[in-house]
Amino acid sequence: MDARSVILERISSSLGRTGRLNAEGYVPITAPAPEVPHAYRTASDLSTERLIEIFADRLADYNAGVARVSAAELPATVARLLDEADDIVIPADLDRAWVGEFAGRVLTDSREEPQPVDVLNAVGAVVTGSTTAIADTGTICLSGPHCGRRVITLVPDHHVCVVRAADIVEIVPQAVARLQEAGLSTAPQTWASGPSATVDIEFERVAGVHGPRRLDVVIVVDEDEPEAHAGTQAAAQADPRDSA
């Protein structure tokens, strides 16, 4: 038996497949795969207010900017965060009112009419929505409507991401369930916890290698949701540039 056959046999054995090829051209499974236990927690009883507090705290710890606003305040907040950009890119299906107060050029991107990578590399920022967000890990999940193609949130140096307070969940299983309910479990996804950061071979922290070096998350609170306490509001409006 040659090396290739040995390797394939070991792979088949590890997958529970033994015997000869069947009529369809593969070795059938002779033993059922072991059942994966699902004893982990899948629900939360935290209030929206508490979820926002935890989410904002995690993001601030990751050196991301966080702002908590009403829907009416969103356009002005986005424009303020884009004050250093001359042009931006947005998904074609994004609500244009979100960037209505931005004075620069707005480019749209879609699967049908994608922007070239060199254009994405040159724009000042990208603005997107989000599908859900995880308070416990400070993670935003991008997939589906208003999130755009993955490349537009990975190439530009600055990402402004709008998160609805109602879309924030506490733990990862809840976020996975939301994605499944939206029919996005097999769609391309980007999960981001703070701006891109990595460590080189000399253990020096480097920003912006695998994605945007600056991330600003704007949490939009519905009018019927409770307002933050003054202390929480001040913390949520913190800009990491103030401490740079």
Q: Domain 48-243 carries which CATH code?
A: 3.40.50.10420
For residue range 177-225, list pLDDT tens digits in order.
999 999 999 999 999 999 988 887 888 878 877 889 999 999 999 865 5
For the chain, which residues make up each domain, given as ranges? 1-36, 48-243
- The Cα–Cα gap between 97 and 239 comes to 23
For residue range 17-58, list pLDDT tens digits in order.
666 666 666 666 666 667 888 889 999 999 999 999 999 999
Phi, psi of 106 (to 5 degrees): -115, 120
Instruction: Report the candidate in 152, 150, 159, 153 with the shortest Cα–Cα distance to residue 116.
Output: 152
Specify the pTM: 0.78
Instruction: Report the candidate in 189, 119, 202 with the shortest Cα–Cα distance to residue 155.
Output: 119
